[in-house]
Amino acid sequence: MNRTERIKFIATKLDEYFPNPPIPLIHEDAYTLLIAVLLSAQCTDVRVNQITPFLFKKAKTPEAMIKLKVETIMEIVKPCGFFRTKGTNIFNLSKILIEKHQGQVPRSFEELEALPGVGHKTASVVMSHAFKIPAFPVDTHIHRLAKRFGLSNGSSVEQTEKDLKKIFPKEEWEKRHLQFIYFGRNFCKARGHVVSECPICKGL
């Protein structure tokens, strides 16, 4: 099949298996999503979703978060790994949100990425899911699948993001991002991947 047919096949399969993919991280608003995404670095969404209810019960706004001791935040998020860094970043970014953004999560990549612990992928997730501003966050699942599906050469996460943005219409970016994640977790895993058992790979 040619490239156009390949893209259509992949899109059809993603829609077939995951027509309405939910956001995997538990959150209530832009701030709680930002915190959840920050905690998800080098940690599974399942583990994050086990921890955030305890954290958000104590503090789900920047104002409430900075009233906690950094050590308290660290202790709560410890199961998510890198807890010292994550705990410190959560406290410091909450303080900055109050001091510079009236306690609100900013709606720009530049301002988001200036926050402690917030990289481009985290900013993209918040922009896409919290504010519905077109973005295509690329994680390890998406990077792996884009290369396997022949949609990107896999040279870098940055290149994969550029390639996928060119392939899919802007209004589909949020949905495609989530579909790739769920498909990667369920059918096209990093280890033990069997081409004949993958609904997309076996058809390419």
- Cite the active site residues: 121, 139
CA-nearest of 107, 175, 172, 130 to 25 is: 130
